């Protein structure tokens, strides 16, 4: 036995395996005696548990590989569908690009034609405007009527002369009337004074006659002095009587003179009044003539003002017409400048676009030909303002059409540029799916490696399980059991050398029973 255990202790597992396969019955018997039954049972249970766990792990790995493979198959189907969509989009994109390019070429041709038409319309408008500027303007409204103006001037001069004569006569008659009235007032004042004096002399005459008559009456009965109340002598009475008669006669003569003066003065007053009446009549006649002349003058002035108003209105109308014509010519000039410049730019833009699209002359002109001849009024050979208006409308229309064509060309080119730069939306989807497929393939490969490892472990554990089904030590083909055999063989040799084999085995058995668990194999 010592030799056999020495063979186990000093040989590796391969040697032990060779011994077992060689069928060394003596070696097997010795090993069976050395190893305890609990080691055999624990090894058998451990091998069964490891086989079950390995089978479960293998099943899980195989299920994972199958599931991932199914997922890869679905992803590959999606990749194929994405590739089909990508190819269909590419075909559709090419068709849309061709259509967009045709539209851009058509828009470029239309823009070139519209620019050319705009330029031609502007040139035609420029010719019309130049012809209108150089055209004779004798048909314009004159500023004034010379005949009416001369008649008005002659009427003004005659009226001024007659007005001056009547005014001078009126001034002379007014001065004469003023003098007559002044003289009349003097005569009337003097007549009043004479009448007052005549009245006073009449009063004095009446008093004198009454005094004389009283004195005469008193003389018949004897005169008495009023102072001394003494009788007056006859001589004194006669002298007094003569004196009174003389005074009365003087007073009477004075009264008669004053009455004649009053009559003469009244005659002068009547003559002055008659003269004043005549002068007033002449002054009134002169005033009426002057009023009639003033009325005629006012009527003439009114007619002249009306003519002047009509002339001013005609002048304003002509000035407004001239301003409107100048404004139209200015607008025409602006349209000419803008039309030529815009037409040339848009024509150049269309030609450049056609050249860039590599299809020069691919689109026929759809623009109506612009009028290149001057429009004239019927039968007179002169340029008409209506023709200018029509030319301006044509130029404006051509300009708007050219700008619209340029705008459409820009839109078509922008759309073509966007479509050219547009990426395939299905390409990213395909790349994403392919990346997912590659990732899943890597995972499948990893899972396959794990499944292969689990499969090898299961196969090994199946051999161990088959070995446990046999009798004898052949069930220790498992690595852990062989290691345990070698370890225990070495320990047995040491016991033989030191005499402690029984103690070690007992201690080992007691320790395992206290732990209550199967031994673990390194």
Is the CATH number 1.10.287 carried by domain 146-332?
Answer: yes
For the segment 6-63, what is each residue's pLDDT rounded down to a tens digit? Answer: 444 444 444 555 555 545 565 555 555 555 444 555 556 666 777 788 788 888 878 8
Confirm whether pTM is higher than 0.85: no
Are the beta carbons of 399 and 339 closer than 8 angstroms?
yes
Closest to 387 in 3D by CA, of 435, 432, 349, 332: 332
**Cα torsion at 114, 119, 121, 126 (round to 10°)?**
170
What is the per-residue pLDDT for 223?
A: 53
What is the per-residue pLDDT for 213?
A: 77
Inter-helix orientation angle 234-356/37-134, to 10°: 130
Distance CA 522, CA 515 (A): 17
Regions in the chain scoring below 50 on pLDDT = 1-14, 22, 36-38, 136, 138-147, 155, 161, 221, 360-381, 471-478, 495-509, 512, 515-522
What is the per-residue pLDDT for 469?
A: 55
Structure tokens at 350: 């269309």
What is the per-residue pLDDT for 50?
A: 74
What is the per-residue pLDDT for 5?
A: 46
What are residue 376's DSSP bridge partners?
383
Gyration radius (Cα) of the chain, Å: 80
Question: CB within 8 A of 58, min separation 6: which ones?
Answer: 451, 454, 455, 457, 458
What is the per-residue pLDDT for 362?
A: 42
Number of neighbours of residue 359 by Cβ within 10 angstroms: 17
What is the per-residue pLDDT for 135?
A: 67
What is the per-residue pLDDT for 90?
A: 82
DSSP state of 224: B
Residues of 362-371 as b/e, b for ≥16 C-beta within 10 angstroms? Answer: ebeeebeebb
Are the beta carbons of 54 and 426 closer than 8 angstroms?
no
Closest to 324 in 3D by CA, of 262, 389, 418, 404: 389
Instruction: Report CA torsion sign: 215, 219, 221, 222.
Output: positive
Domain boundaries, the chain: 2-77+428-515, 105-136+338-421, 146-332
What is the per-residue pLDDT for 464?
A: 60
For the segment 364-423, what is each residue's pLDDT rounded down to a tens digit? Answer: 444 444 444 444 433 444 556 677 667 777 777 777 777 777 777 777 777 777 777 777
């Amino acid at each position: 036995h010592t030799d056999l255990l020495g063979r186990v202790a000093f040989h590796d597992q391969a040697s032990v395996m060779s011994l077992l396969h060689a069928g060394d019955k003596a070696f097997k018997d010795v090993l069976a005696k050395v190893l305890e039954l609990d080691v055999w049972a624990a090894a058998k249970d451990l091998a069964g548990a490891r086989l079950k766990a390995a089978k479960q792990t293998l099943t899980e790995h195989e299920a994972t590989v199958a599931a991932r493979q199914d997922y890869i198959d679905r992803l590959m189907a999606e990749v194929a569908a994405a590739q089909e969509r990508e190819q269909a989009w590419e075909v559709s994109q090419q068709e849309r690009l061709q259509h967009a390019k045709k539209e851009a070429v058509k828009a470029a041709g239309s823009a070139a034609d519209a620019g050319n038409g705009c330029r031609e319309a502007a040139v035609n408008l420029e010719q019309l405007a130049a012809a209108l500027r150089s055209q004779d303007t004798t048909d314009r409204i004159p500023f004034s009527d010379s005949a009416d103006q001369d008649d008005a001037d002659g009427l003004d001069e005659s009226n001024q002369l007659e007005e001056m004569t009547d005014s001078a006569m009126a001034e002379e008659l007014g001065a004469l009337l003023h003098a007559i009235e002044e003289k009349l007032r003097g005569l009337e004042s003097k007549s009043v004074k004479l009448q007052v004096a005549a009245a006073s002399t009449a009063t004095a005459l009446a008093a004198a006659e009454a005094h004389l008559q009283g004195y005469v009456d008193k003389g018949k009965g004897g005169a008495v002095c009023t102072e001394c109340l003494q009788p007056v002598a006859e001589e004194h009475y006669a002298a007094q009587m003569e004196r009174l008669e003389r005074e009365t006669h003087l007073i009477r003569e004075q009264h008669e003179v004053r009455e004649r003066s009053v009559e003469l003065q009244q005659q002068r007053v009547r003559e002055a009044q008659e003269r004043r009446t005549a002068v007033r009549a002449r002054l009134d006649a002169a005033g009426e003539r002057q009023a009639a002349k003033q009325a005629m003058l006012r009527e003439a002035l009114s007619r002249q003002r009306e003519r002047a108003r009509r002339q001013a209105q005609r002048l304003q109308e002509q000035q407004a017409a001239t301003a409107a014509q100048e404004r139209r010519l200015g607008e025409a000039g602006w349209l000419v400048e803008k039309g030529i410049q815009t037409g040339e730019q848009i024509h150049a833009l269309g030609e450049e676009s056609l050249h860039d699209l590599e299809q020069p002359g691919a689109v026929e002109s759809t623009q109506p030909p612009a009028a290149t001849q001057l429009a004239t009024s019927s039968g007179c050979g002169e340029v008409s303002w209506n023709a200018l208006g029509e030319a301006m409308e044509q130029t404006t229309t051509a300009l708007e059409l050219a700008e619209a064509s340029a705008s459409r060309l820009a839109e078509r080119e922008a759309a073509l540029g966007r479509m050219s730069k547009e990426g395939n939306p299905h390409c990213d989807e395909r790349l994403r799916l392919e990346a997912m497929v590659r990732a899943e393939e890597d995972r499948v490969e990893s899972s396959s490696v794990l499944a292969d490892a689990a499969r090898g472990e299961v196969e090994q554990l199946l051999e161990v399980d088959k070995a446990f089904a046999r009798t004898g030590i052949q069930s220790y083909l498992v690595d852990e059991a062989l290691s345990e055999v070698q370890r225990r063989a070495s320990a047995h040799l040491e016991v033989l050398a030191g005499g402690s084999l029984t103690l070690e085995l007992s201690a080992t058995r007691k320790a395992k029973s206290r732990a209550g668990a199967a031994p673990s194999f390194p």
